[in-house]
Amino acid sequence: MTSSAPAPSATAAATAPTRERLLDAAAGLFYREGVNIGIEALCRAAGVSKRSMYQLFTSKDDVLAASLDRAGSGYLSGLLPAPDADLPPRDRIMHVFKQLESLSASPDYLGCPFLATAFELKDSEHPASVVARRYKDALTDFFRDEARRGGAHDPDLLAHQLTVVFDGSSARAMAQARSLGGLATATATALLDAAGVS
């Protein structure tokens, strides 16, 4: 999963606790190669035995959900402005879309990890789909809170519209394998203008 944090060194990875090594390897593999990665490939990448994995998790589904949850918090916090950032609501919302534009320019960006996981699984009750939905709801909640603070005519509607723009832009960047080139920020700006968020 794309992150601004540096990748752990081989030495650090080898000495990290088994659970963390497994979740970090799983997050990267599932994001880059999809959720159908086999247990053997996953354990090999993490440098752990299958026995060790099953001592920590009951199934690959549980590993997928836990790895998405672990990596997801970093992904979401990288999108949102810092809690103490002294920005007006409109700028706080636009920060998210500027971050998305920046991510889309990276060759490592393969779309929103939450959307990618849910699309691949096609099962809304899968543990990882539940995790994905929780993070997507958190982003919508952020948009709603800022829209309300910014005086939007209908904060709930605007929050959902902004989420659709985010999700659509993320999917487009992945499908087209190229930068959004300002499309996400321009569309979000038009929605904010129409909703009366100054």
Instruction: Please state the domain extents for the chain.
Output: 61-195
Q: What is the mean pLDDT of residues 99-116?
A: 95
pLDDT at 15 over 80: no
Under 8 Å between Cβ of 22 and 63:
yes
Please list, in sequence order, all residues whose beta carbon lies within 8 angstroms of the beta carbon of residue 175, skipping any fewer than 6 positions away: 111
Confidence band, pLDDT 50/70/90 cuts, at residue 198: confident
Instruction: Provide the sign of the torsion angle of the four alpha carbons 87, 91, 97, 98, taken in this order.
Output: negative
pLDDT at 163 over 60: yes
Confidence band, pLDDT 50/70/90 cuts, at residue 16: low
Confidence band, pLDDT 50/70/90 cuts, at residue 36: very high
Confidence (pLDDT) at 78: 95
Name the residue with higher pLDDT: 8 or 72: 72
Please list, in sequence order, all residues whose beta carbon lies within 8 angstroms of the beta carbon of residue 32, skipping any fewer than 6 positions away: 110
Place of tokens 């038009």: 190
Strand stretches in 41-194, DSSP E: none
pLDDT above 70: percentage of residues in the chain: 92
Confidence band, pLDDT 50/70/90 cuts, at residue 83: confident
Q: What is the pTM of this model?
A: 0.88
CATH superfamily of 61-195: Tetracycline Repressor, domain 2 (1.10.357.10)
In our burial notation (b when 16+ CB lie closer than 10 A, e otherwise), range 157-188 reads ebbebbbebbbebbeebbeeeeebeebbbebb
Count CA atoms within 13 Å of residue 115 on its CB side.
Answer: 19
Give how far Cα 141 sits from Cα of 28, 101, 156, Å: 27, 21, 9
